Amino acid sequence: MVKFEQRLLGEMIAVEPEVAPRGKILLPDWQRNLRGQVIAVGPDATECKIGDTIVFGAATGMESVYKGVPIRLMKDSDADAVIE
Amino acid sequence: MILSPELDEVRSRLRVLRDRVLVKPLSYVHPTLITPGIEVQKGVVVAIGYGRRQRRKVRFDQMEGHFGSSLYFEDGEETGRILPMKVAVGDVVEFSPRNVFIIREEDLVSLGLPDVGDLLMVWQQGIYSIDPTESQSDAFMWQQPAGYDRHGNFMSGAESWARA
């Protein structure tokens, strides 16, 4: 898990997406779900905490690269579920 | 509908957030609403979130100075009120095929969850109706193609059908 040293605002969270196994049929982004590990949360984020593995839609949030690792910045409310 | 043990395990491992609903799709064709490309889907609710967080409504004027043509969107800050869910676990629901995210069975299996096929993540607003009679019945859950047991294993006929 990459160490995220920037300060997130509001209910933003930073997620490091996992490389999902590719299925037989490729789905479009607006139907596809990804999962990833939360690496940083803003002060108002209530749904998940650092280290949680969450499920989110592939089209949500903003893709970015931090220290060479692809990450995704999204709002706390964009997460669909937490895997326990 | 009582969930199968496999779906129950998925429900215990996945904590669904807000007003999302995790649905196991059922093969279904609506008797009258048949439109190419658009089909009403039916499924069993596997897990639900805790409810929708209400937001303050914000006015949006379509034309400046014309108050009659204002729209109100629930897009402001959160009020702190949580609206309860209208569906429950085990309900058979009809929902829109739009705004549906698919959790593939490969993803579930790679997490160590049982193989229950594809699951769908639906918003509560996308659910049209709850079928009360089918919600009481277990018939849908145990549907399986002839010749296979409910785990997908081929049965040649020599096995005991009590296993299916």
The structure tokens listed for B154 are 């081929």
- Would you call A77 an interface residue with chain B, using a CB distance cutoff of 8 Å? yes
Q: Give the strand order in the sheet containing B20-26.
A: B101-103, B119-123, B20-26, B41-48, B92-95, B127-131
Amino acid in the structure at residue B112? G
Per-residue pLDDT for B61 more than 90?
Answer: no
Flag whether the ipTM exceeds 0.95: no
Residue B160 confidence (pLDDT) above 90: no
Decide if pLDDT at B38 tops 70: no
User: Quick check: B74 contacting A, CB < 8 Å?
Assistant: no
Indicate the pTM of the whole model: 0.77
Q: What is the pLDDT of residues B120-152, one digit of tens each?
A: 999 998 898 888 777 666 655 555 666 776 666
Q: Which residues of A touch B110 (CB under 8 A)?
A: 20-21
**Å between B10 CA and nearest CA of chain A:** 10
Chain B positions touching A20 (Cβ under 8 A) are 104, 106-107, 110
The end-to-end CA distance of chain A, in Å, is 18
Nearest to B14 among A27, A32, A81 (CB): A81
pLDDT tens digit sequence for B81-110: 999 999 999 888 988 878 888 888 888 888
Residues of B in contact with A47 (CB under 8 A): 17-18
pLDDT tens column, A3-62: 888 889 988 999 999 876 666 777 777 788 888 999 999 998 888 889 999 999 888 989
Distance from CA of B65 to the nearest CA of A (A): 33
- CA-CA distances (angstroms) from residue A9 to A16, A79, B80? 18, 17, 19
Provide CB contacts within 8 A for B71, sequence distance 6+.
B59, B60, B62
Confidence at residue B87, expressed as pLDDT on a 0 to 100 scale:
92
Share of chain B above pLDDT 70, in %: 74
Looking at the complex, report in whole angstroms how far the Cα of residue B137 sits from the nearest Cα belonging to chain A: 28
Greatest CA span in chain A, whole angstroms?
A: 40
pLDDT attached to residue B74:
87
